[in-house]
Amino acid sequence: MSEIFLGMPATAPRGVGNLRGDEPFPVAARRSLADAQLRRNLGHATATIRAKSAAVIDEVPDWQELREAGRAIKTDVMARLPELLAQLEVAVTAAGGTVHWAADAVEANRIVTDLVRATGSDRVMKVKSMATQEIGLNEALEAAGIEAVETDLAELIVQLGRDKPSHILVPAIHRNRAEIREIFLREMPGVDPALTDEPAILAAAARRHLRRTFLSTRVAVSGANFAVAETGTLAVVESEGNGRMCLTLPDTLITVMGIEKLVPTWADLEVFLQLLPRASTGERMNPYTSMWTGVTPGDGPQEFHLVLLDNGRSAVLADEVGRQALHCIRCSACLNVCPVYERTGGHAYGSVYPGPIGAVLSPQLTGVEDNASLPYASSLCGACFDACPVMIDIPSILVHLRAQHTAAYRSDHRLPSAEAVTMAAAAYTMDHRPLYEAAQRAARASRFVGRRGGGLPPPLSGWTIGRDLPQPPPQTFREWWAQR
Amino acid sequence: MRIALFVTCLADTMFPEAAKATVRLLERLGHEVVFPQDQTCCGQMHINTGYPDDALRLVRRHVRAFAPYDVVVAPSGSCVGSVRHQHAMVARGAGDERLASRAEEVARRTYELSELLVDVLGVTDVGAFYTHRVTYQPTCHSLRMIRVGDKPLRLLRQVRGLDLVELPQAEQCCGFGGTFAVKNADTSTAMLADKMRHVLSTRADVCTAGDASCLMHIGGGLSRLRVGVRTVHLAEILASTEPTGDPAERARTGGVTA
């Protein structure tokens, strides 16, 4: 394969998919924060998953070594991604599958739509997949007259409620069981009107509803947790068995996979299949791990298509600091430990990738200016870095993207922002001792705004919505030191 | 030992008691404290808000100010974190490899107060006396960026008269995060509210930490609520001693007045 430099890789296109929100994070967050039910649901759910996950991680004596191994494997994959992808294509093709390359969401949606049309089916069943949420596949299929049925329980709740997912692993985390019961009663055809909000009863209702779909739908669409370049094997891990149904029952299986999901060899799965369930659901092992390699005559789908999706990933790969975001295995541990996510929920992030990983992944996939508020949606507390099973240094990427944003603003505007002017002035002042000392004396004048700081202009007024200002001391430390 | 004080711009300007306490404490333990006058700010705010180019001159200034000293101490986990994990990165980002390696040199000799006391000076009992019910907020950068671990707690446990109570969900951020507190003021306030709820649940009358910035945040919230719980820097507690006849001294230790 010859390589020609075609310029910087493209970011994910606008107008398609679900990587961009309608409003900046602080605005959306303000609304979520006021929703007391949402706060309770999230607080309870994240605390429960955190405790469960911490307990099973504690059982693994070599957890840190496993994390290191996960990081090392993913670093290697990113370093030779083109070669490994080509190897995967050869292996999948040799096993009877067909590989399609999609540069972006538009191409991927078109490829999948055409493939479904070719089968003559007007319905597909889906395994929970972040990649297809990212590209807005359900919307694209609907526009083509094809119904997409989500079979993961939480995705089904979201779909029936005409809602949006708010968590990578548990997309209906913002709903409690009473709300889920209401959605089922309202939206599920033929549901028992005596439905209670017992989890087992709700799950049984979904089961009955989905069973008809499993047995009558001839095409399935899935994502993939891993693809083994060496063997051409795809893997999906899940808890409910709906995935196993979708991956084995239909005639045609179409898998949409981000190009970063690769591992080089079969043996590498050993590391990730230990890391993922413990970090993700807090289970020692996920209940279902389905693996398939191309097509097996007389067993399972007889037609298999793999759609390899870029949609901005090559642009992420081009960034030396940011590329480690591609190591993500979508476990959502960073969401569960994030104090910001726990209070705002996922919708505030606008993108299908919420929480800390979303705050570094979404702006990179779309270009930072299309998600400029997300890198700032973090107090840089570092809990995400500690929780990440593949050791993605999320705080450092956030800081890196903030610098990218200020640089982009500078080159896009004739005048610097008020913040940039303030920052430059502060740096200049602090780099000149007499000015710095004069500024310290001036800070004392803030005594006049009073402890509650009512007279402060924005953005400083944000401080005083819930906090008093500290009273400046009569003497700075250096004044005291000079008089000693 | 001769120890250079990296006072931090926030303690210098707004919370000099924490810095003065650091000086008194180290001198009481028999060490010489020097104050490099040319220091101002480490540039963390600039770096974390997305202005590494502006921060570069502050990194250069910091490195120049502290290069001559063998041991540097700061009463702040966050500023030490910036020196250790960000200064060389900013220099490298600007293509200044020489500054980066000098910054790494300075970073290797820079300690947060509890690290200096426990790891370098080898003391946990600093002879302090402080008769209050105290809860300790570990602060994110002390806990996760420079990993001071339980060193502050080991120091606090040796303080005579001090009733140490555990803070529930201590590892959760108080919501400060520098400019985060103004850029995402609502989210920050929500985090602060939960932190204050936990502080109040301990029935402590003092909340302490190794970072003036986090204490400014928590203290600003507690002050707004008028709940009568104060924030006091760890250095001030460790510097407090048994009251003598001196009324000023008594006031400082909380032995008589709070």
Model confidence pLDDT, tens digit, residues A219-238: 999 999 999 999 999 999 99
Mutate to test the interface with B, among A477, A479, A483 (most CBs of B within 10 A): A477
Residues 6+ apart with CB under 8 A from A318: A8, A9
Length of chain A equals 484
CB B251 within 8 A of CB B17: no
CATH number of the domain to which A266 belongs: 3.40.50.10420
**Does some domain include residue A199?**
yes
CB B137 within 8 A of CB B170: yes
Which residues form the domain of A469? 420-483
Cis? peptide before A459, omega within 30° of 0: yes
**Does some domain include residue A388?**
no
What is the C-alpha to C-alpha distance for residues A360 and A326, in angstroms, rounded to an integer?
10
Nearest CA in chain A to B48: A399
Nearest CA in chain A to B45: A423
Amino acid sitting at position B128? A
CB A325 within 8 A of CB A364: yes
pLDDT at A462: 87
Task: Decide if pLDDT at B250 tops 60.
Answer: no
Length of chain B equals 258
In this structure, is the dihedral angle defined by the CA atoms of residues A453, A456, A458 and A460, taken in order, positive or negative? negative
pLDDT category of residue B248 using cuts at 50, 70 and 90: low
Q: Which residues pair with A174 in a beta bridge?
A: none
Q: How far is B58 from chain A (nearest CA, A)?
A: 6
Query: What is the DSSP secondary structure assignment for residue A193, as one 8-state letter?
Result: T
Which domain-ending residue is among A313, A338, A366? A313
pLDDT at A8: 81
Task: Tally the domains of chain A.
Answer: 2
Task: Decide if pLDDT at B40 tops 50.
Answer: yes
Structure tokens at A243: 């995935």
**Does some domain include residue A152?**
yes
Q: What is the mean pLDDT of chain B?
A: 95
**Does some domain include residue A345?**
no
- Cite the DSSP H helix spans in A304-454: 313-317, 333-337, 339-344, 355-366, 383-387, 394-412, 418-430, 433-443
pLDDT by residue, tens only, chain A of 484 residues: 456 766 788 999 999 999 999 999 999 999 999 999 999 999 999 999 999 999 999 999 999 999 999 999 999 999 999 999 999 999 999 999 999 999 999 999 999 999 999 999 999 999 999 999 999 999 999 999 999 999 999 999 999 999 999 999 999 999 999 999 999 999 998 899 999 999 999 999 999 999 989 999 999 999 999 999 999 999 999 999 999 999 999 999 999 999 999 999 999 999 999 999 999 999 999 999 999 999 999 999 999 999 999 999 999 999 999 999 999 999 999 999 999 999 999 999 999 999 999 999 999 999 999 999 999 999 999 999 999 999 999 999 999 999 999 999 999 999 999 999 999 999 999 999 999 999 999 888 777 666 666 667 777 888 988 999 998 999 999 999 999 8
pTM of the model: 0.95
**Does some domain include residue A367?**
no
Mutate to test the interface with B, among A337, A467, A481 (most CBs of B within 10 A): A467
pLDDT tens per residue, range A388-404: 999 999 999 999 999 99
Which domain-ending residue is among A283, A313, A343? A313
| Through-space distance between the first and last CA atoms of chain B, rounded to whole angstroms | 33
Residues A270 and A145 in one domain: yes
Could you give the ipTM of this predicted complex?
0.94
CB B231 within 8 A of CB B225: no
**Does some domain include residue A399?**
no
Residues A428 and A304 in one domain: no
CB A368 within 8 A of CB A295: no
What is the C-alpha to C-alpha distance for residues A462 and A452, in angstroms, rounded to an integer?
12
Does any CB of chain A come closer than 8 Å to the CB of residue B15? yes
Long-range contacts of A209-214 (CB under 8 A, 24+ apart): A209/A156, A210/A149, A210/A151, A210/A156, A210/A242, A213/A123, A213/A125, A213/A149, A213/A151, A214/A125, A214/A151, A214/A242, A214/A245, A214/A246, A214/A249
Q: How far is B254 from chain A (nearest CA, A)?
A: 19
pLDDT at A63: 98
Nearest CA in chain A to B43: A427
Q: Is A473's CB within 8 Å of B16's CB? A: yes
Residue scoring higher pLDDT (A450 or B143): B143
Does any CB of chain A come closer than 8 Å to the CB of residue B95? no
Residues A304 and A425 in one domain: no
Residues A229 and A90 in one domain: yes
- Count CB atoms within 10 A of the CB of residue A417: 12
Given A30, A375, A466, which is nearest B224 (Cβ)? A466
- Residue recorded with tokens 């760890």: B234
Residues 6+ apart with CB under 8 A from A422: none
Chain B residues within 8 A of A421 when measuring between CB atoms: none
What is the C-alpha to C-alpha distance for residues A341 and A355, in angstroms, rounded to an integer?
5
The side-by-side arrangement of strands in the sheet containing B133-136 is B163-165, B133-136, B206-209, B230-233
Residue A46's alpha-carbon distances to A167, A381, B166, in angstroms, are 10, 17, 22
Query: What is the DSSP secondary structure assignment for residue A299, as one 8-state letter?
Result: B
Q: Is B186's CB within 8 Å of A26's CB? A: yes
Query: Which of B159, B251, B250 has its CA nearest to residue B208?
Result: B159
Does any CB of chain B come closer than 8 Å to the CB of residue A423? yes
Does any CB of chain A come closer than 8 Å to the CB of residue B51? yes
pLDDT at A254: 98
Does any CB of chain B come closer than 8 Å to the CB of residue A26? yes
pLDDT at A460: 82
Residues A309 and A430 in one domain: no
Does any CB of chain B come closer than 8 Å to the CB of residue A349? no
Residues 6+ apart with CB under 8 A from A281: A49, A52, A53, A169, A239
pLDDT at B249: 58
Size of interface A-B (CB pairs under 8 A): 188
CB B238 within 8 A of CB B210: no
Q: Is A462's CB within 8 Å of B11's CB? A: no
Residues 6+ apart with CB under 8 A from A82: A1, A3
**Does some domain include residue A324?**
no
Residues A307 and A425 in one domain: no
- Residue recorded with tokens 């496993």: A66
Residues A179 and A40 in one domain: yes
- Residue recorded with tokens 């999901």: A261
Task: Decide if pLDDT at B247 tops 90.
Answer: no
pLDDT at A456: 74
Given B89, B144, B190, which is nearest A382 (Cβ)? B144
Does any CB of chain A come closer than 8 Å to the CB of residue B128? no
Report, in angstroms and rounded to the nearest whole number, the Rg of chain A calculated over CA atoms.
25
CB A137 within 8 A of CB A149: no
What domains does chain B contain, in order, with CATH numbers? 2-120 (3.40.50), 133-253 (3.40.50)
What is the C-alpha to C-alpha distance for residues A172 and A209, in angstroms, rounded to an integer?
18
Which domain-ending residue is among A313, A338, A368? A313
Chain B residues 141-200 within an 8 A CB cutoff of chain A: 141, 143-145, 171-173, 175-194
**Does some domain include residue A118?**
yes
In this structure, is the dihedral angle defined by the CA atoms of residues A394, A399, A403 and A405, taken in order, positive or negative? positive
Does any CB of chain B come closer than 8 Å to the CB of residue A28? no
